[in-house]
A = this chain, B = another copy of it.
């Protein structure tokens, strides 16, 4: 191959080949040369108000698109997105972080270049803690394999990677010494796989009341259809978790609801915790998902299949590839049809779909808000919630299609939702985001509505204004849980674009939603709530929360 690309051009080519059509970030002098290259490429640059916004947007983009990228300058940009990269790590979102850096040559002349913290390794060392693979592109001879290695690991493990690009390397020529990048396939050890498969199938076949807990890795690894095949074949009911909500179509006749320990519906909790065979597929046993329950799931009754662990009861298997195993399991002809209590299952599945008649003439509260929203959402929406009661209430919403509920339900970083809606809608422009966000989170990153407007996106933002950090008030209250009262709807005047409404009654909420639906711009709907109002879910876990804070 004679084609001569530069390091920067090759990186862009690999990104584009892996479906990156948008990249998020803010330029700075150490990354300007690469921005110039990006600008000439097919990848759109999406600049945000603050780097934090770019980080959240890239994370959301990655969750929907299968890969995301954020591009920033050295340290003053990179360290601002450490939290969002940590979030992507914790929740398995494949984000590539590209950071500009001082040129290799200028490092020799001035050890104290601007943006340097301790030395030239500081940022790299830090990112090692929140990524699966890293590289500093300081060598034209290895640039291809370095880039390939990082992108390969990110795509394979669904964990962020870090690429540092010194500014004097961007335009250095490389020679293409091998074929274009391809994801290498990891093969299982077939002896281990066969033993594990037999034991799994036996345990399922001999169980009386099996249940599948469908985790977020089902979406990350794209095995939704295999799971559906398994359910159809066996008749085993399925639940999701806070982090994986909407991984399975909530219309599915075997879908029971979200399992979330003591926080969720009592009937769903009971069903799972009384099962004699809990099949966890791609699900992490986090405190949010599994915590706070009086009768937690008994490990002696679980099969726990995931990309980085495989346990049956108390023993584990190594060298079993997650995707390969799921495929073998779901397509197995040895797995039998279960005859389960259909009435019980039907009762549970119907519970999620309890639509309501119009609720007129009432003051709005959190419960009514989510009930009305449940009725409003349709298959052309995706739901993105921030942390706190936005999430707790949002979990009770009925989501009609796969992969359209986004929330940092395990890492729980506030400020996610509004910038995430940018990445999410750019990744899937066919679904209009419904964003549910509290006032505390809105004060952190709500200003990114400016980027929403710049990119001509049109989320409907439901702002729960309850005058502070409501979830914390449940745990331990003090003036530190109060925040300044803003005139939130005035943000459209500051930004110069958008529509806004203030809602105090159910009728006003219906009207605002209708107008928002007709409006082609983003729309902010501020819901005035009582300071101590809360969702049913939050009320259910109040006591448990209190105990933990004061240990």
Interface residues of A (CB under 8 A from B): 27-29, 32-33, 35-36, 39, 45, 47, 49-52, 75-76, 79-80, 82-83, 86-87, 89-90, 103, 105-106, 110, 112-118, 122, 125-126, 129-130, 167-168, 171, 284-288, 290-291, 410-415, 443-445, 447, 450-451, 453-454, 469, 471-472, 475-476, 478-488, 490-491, 493-496, 545, 548-551
Tell me which residues across on chain B come within 8 A of A129, comparing CB atoms.
Answer: 117-118, 122, 125-126
A441 to chain B, nearest CB (A): 10
Q: Which residue of B lies closest to A413 (CB)?
A: B76
A-B contact pairs, 9 of them (CB 8 A): A50-B52, A50-B415, A52-B52, A90-B116, A103-B551, A106-B548, A115-B413, A126-B126, A443-B450
Least Cβ–Cβ distance between A170 and chain B, in angstroms: 8
**Chain B residues, CB < 8 A from A454:** 484
**Is the pair A475, B29 in contact by a Cβ cutoff of 8 Å?**
yes
Residues of B within 8 A of A122 (CB): 86, 129-130
**How near does chain B come to A451, taking the closest CB pair, in angstroms?**
7
Question: CB distance A167 to B549 under 8 Å?
Answer: yes
**When chains A and B are docked, how far (Å) is the Cα of A264 from the Cα of B127?**
36
Q: A29-B475, A80-B83 are in contact. Are A115 and B291 (CB under 8 A)?
A: no
Residues of B within 8 A of A479 (CB): 39, 45
A91 nearest CB across to chain B (Å): 10
CB distance from A476 to the nearest CB of B (A): 5
Q: Is the CB of B76 within 8 A of A83?
A: yes
A142 to B551, CA, bound (A): 20
Q: Pick from B32, B45, B481, B551: contact of A475, CB below 8 A.
A: B32
Cβ B495 vs Cβ A443 within 8 A: no
With A and B bound together, what is the CA distance between A454 and B483 in angstroms?
9
Point out the residues of chain B lying under 8 angstroms from A444, CB to CB: 49-51
The residue among A126, A480, A550 with the most chain B CB atoms within 10 A of its own CB is: A480
**Contact across chains for B486 and A112 when beta carbons are under 8 A apart:** no
Residues of B within 8 A of A86 (CB): 75, 79, 117, 122
Residues of B within 8 A of A285 (CB): 110, 112
- Nearest CB to that of A169 among chain B residues? B551
Query: Are the C-beta atoms of B130 and A29 separated by less than 8 Å?
Result: no
CA–CA, A130 and B114, complex, Å: 15
Contacts known (A27-B480, A168-B551, A496-B485); A115 close to B412, Cβ less than 8 A: yes
Q: Is the pair A52, B80 in contact by a Cβ cutoff of 8 Å?
A: yes
**Which of chain B's residues have a CB closer than 8 A to the CB of A496?**
484-487
Beyond A112-B284, A129-B117, A130-B118, is A450–B28 a contact (Cβ under 8 Å)? no
Cβ-defined partner of A287 (8 Å) among B112, B167, B171, B487:
B112
Supposing A114-B286, A443-B49 touch, asked if A487 and B493 sit within 8 A by C-beta, the answer is yes
Partner of A29, one of B28, B115, B549: B549
Neighbouring B residues of A484 by C-beta, 8 Å: 450-451, 453-454, 495-496
Q: Which of B90, B475, B486 contacts A494 (CB 8 A)?
A: B486
Task: Report B-chain residues with C-beta under 8 Å of the C-beta of A33.
Answer: 476, 549-551
A47–B485 alpha-carbon span in the complex (Å): 13
**If the complex has contacts A76-B413, A493-B490, A549-B167, are A286 and B480 also in contact, measured as CB distance less than 8 A?**
no
Besides A39-B479, A76-B87, A76-B414, 11 new A-B residue pairs in contact (Cβ under 8 A), listed by A number = A32-B472, A39-B478, A50-B52, A50-B445, A52-B80, A75-B83, A114-B288, A114-B411, A126-B130, A171-B550, A443-B450
Cα–Cα distance between A348 and B413 once the two chains are bound (Å): 53
* A545 touches which of B29, B445, B490 (Cβ 8 Å): B29
Give the contacting residue for A286; candidates B49, B113, B478; CB below 8 A: B113
Closest to A493 in B: B490
Knowing A487-B493, A549-B32 are in contact, say whether A47-B480 is a contact too (CB < 8 A): yes
Residues of B within 8 A of A551 (CB): 33, 103, 105-106, 167-168, 171
- Would you give the shortest CB distance from A448 to chain B, in whole angstroms? 9
Partner among B27, B89, B412 whose Cβ is within 8 Å of the Cβ of A469: B27
Using Cβ atoms and an 8 Å threshold, which residues of chain B touch A168?
A: 551
Most buried by B among A411, A414, A549: A549
A121 to nearest B CB, angstroms?
A: 9
Closest chain-B Cβ to A184's Cβ sits at a distance in Å of 24
Separation of A444 and B45 alpha carbons in the complex (Å)? 18
Determine which of B106, B288, B450 lies in contact with A486 in the assembled complex, contact meaning CB atoms within 8 Å. Answer: B450
Closest 8 CB pairs of A and B: A168-B551, A79-B83, A76-B413, A50-B444, A49-B443, A112-B286, A490-B493, A490-B494
Within the complex, the shortest CB–CB distance from A117 to chain B, in Å, comes to: 4
**Are A90 and B117 in touch, CB under 8 angstroms?**
yes
On chain B, the residues within 8 Å of A114 by CB distance are 286-288, 410-412
CA distance A105 to B547 in the complex (A): 13
Residue numbers in B under 8 Å from A47 (CB-CB): 480, 482-483
